[in-house]
Amino acid sequence: MNDRRPLIVLGVLAVLAVLVFGFGVAGAGRDGGSGWPEWATPDFSPGDPLTVADLSGDSSCSIDGAAIAFSGVCRVEVKPVTGGWPWERATRRALLVVGAGPVDLGVTLAGKALRTDLDPGDDIRLTYTRDGGSFVLACVNPTGCAVTLVKDS
């Protein structure tokens, strides 16, 4: 039983570490917030709905409520997610439902252009990651076309 001083110091440090952890757990979230600083909280969480507030269209698009009305070609930008940690998933999803007129939809993903023709009543799922993106709507109907964003369940 020579020198027990290092063992006693180690024991005291272990007790202090447990106490600090306990106080941290007991006192977390008392302000009613999430406990994360504002800059670390992303605008979106995984699976949040894609809404028209996340979109900006060019001059040929009329975005009102959940509807996008257009004639000719309409390019729509999906805003990127700001805030949060870079490794956090922040996907946004919606169904694009065609209302009036046949619509040609073009999307570029990972450098590949994808295109499909949609008739009135057709829908297609749009999913965007934290980087945002764009899609292009084209209408051949002379009276114009309309699509609606619907929450994807």
What pLDDT is stored for residue 46 in this prediction? Answer: 54
In this prediction, residue 21 carries a pLDDT of 83
Give the model's pLDDT for residue 26. Answer: 65
Helix (H, G, I), strand (E, B) or coil at 130: coil
Q: What is the pTM of this model?
A: 0.63
Which residue from 37, 71, 75, 68 is spatially nearest to 51, judged by alpha carbons? 68
Instruction: Tell me what pLDDT residue 15 has.
Output: 93
Each residue's pLDDT tens digit in the chain (153 positions)? 578 888 899 999 999 999 888 777 666 555 544 454 555 455 555 567 777 888 888 888 888 888 888 888 999 888 887 776 666 667 788 888 999 889 999 987 767 788 889 999 998 888 887 788 888 999 988 888 989 888 877
**Residue-wise over 12-29: b if at least 16 C-beta within 10 A, else e?**
eeeeeeeeeeeeeeeeee
Nearest to 144, CA basis, from 95, 81, 98, 100: 100
Tokens of 75: 């390019």
Q: Tokens for 120, please give them.
A: 């009135």
Give the integer Cα–Cα distance in Å for 41 and 94.
Answer: 22
Cα 68 from Cα 90, distance rounded (Å): 24
Q: Catalogue all structural domains in the chain, each as residue range(s) with its CATH number.
A: 38-151 (2.60.120)
Can you give the pLDDT at residue 107? 87
